[in-house]
Amino acid sequence: MLLVHGGTGSGAYDWEFVRAPLARSYRLLMVDLRGHGRSSDPLERLSLDQIGDDIEALLHQVGGCDAIMAFSIGASAMITLLCRRPTLTRAFVCIAGSTAGDPTQVQGIVNGPWPADLKRLRHEHATDADYWRALRGKLARSWAGHQVSETELTRLVTPTLVLCGDRDRVEPVESALSLSRSLPHGELLVLPRCGHFAPRERPAELSAMVESFLDRVLVSD
């Protein structure tokens, strides 16, 4: 199973609390997106489309994977990729992903509050202490032009678990419900008393539900 983290995070940080339980049942492949964690971005190409291209190239290199689990901006990039290449994987877990960016929100994202842990997170190729701001700005501007149509979503035939927290103010339940209903094989799971960062806020419940979903769809595939 391939794990794709969110913006300004890293594979190690975003999936810290779900790796161990999932690793008991699956072999995990955890990546750092361009410019994040241990990955460099020397040509400054970080964008949602580039994330998709990088993941597609990685899966080609390793021979594919049975499942992709992605969070936040990583999930948004995977939605676009799997609409274009649904056969890349047999199952998709989409946590707090988006199908529609909003240019009017970019300034609010760029200048608004940000989790303290993500501000302190170490990225090996960071140029200064405010490096996270540069990552946030690039991804916010890329997300602004992110649009996945209803027609495109019908092409994402991969069995998909759309997962969100009931207190997520970034991608609210209504967005997750709309996405799950637009997918040919979409299912919705709403975690109670949970905000945007479900993999860290509710790791035990998330891991159990993901394992149940994958056991069911991968066996029946």
Query: Average pLDDT for residues 44-69, to the nearest whole number?
Result: 97
pLDDT at 221 over 60: no
Name every residue whose Cβ is closer than 8 Å to that of residue 149 and which is 6 or more positions away in sequence.
Answer: none
Q: Where are the alpha helices (DSSP H) in 6-115?
A: 11-14, 19-23, 48-62, 73-84, 106-111
Quote the pTM value.
0.97
The position carrying tokens 């637009």 is 182
pLDDT at 220 over 70: no
Whole-number Å distance between alpha carbons of 120 and 131 = 10
Please state the domain count of the chain: 1
Domain hosting 101: range is: 2-216
Q: Do 119 and 147 contact (CB within 8 A), yes or no? A: no
- The per-residue pLDDT for range 68-120, each reduced to its tens digit, is 999 999 999 999 999 999 999 999 999 999 999 999 999 999 999 999 999 99
Instruction: Quote the mean pLDDT of the chain.
Output: 96
Whole-number Å distance between alpha carbons of 214 and 172 = 24
Residue 177 within a domain: yes
Q: What element of type H or E holds 204?
A: helix 203-220
Residue 221 within a domain: no
What is the CATH classification number for the domain harbouring 98? 3.40.50.1820
Specify whether the backbone of 72 is left (phi greater than 0), alpha (psi in -120 to 50) or beta: left
Per DSSP, 65 falls in state -
Q: Do 155 and 86 contact (CB within 8 A), yes or no? A: yes
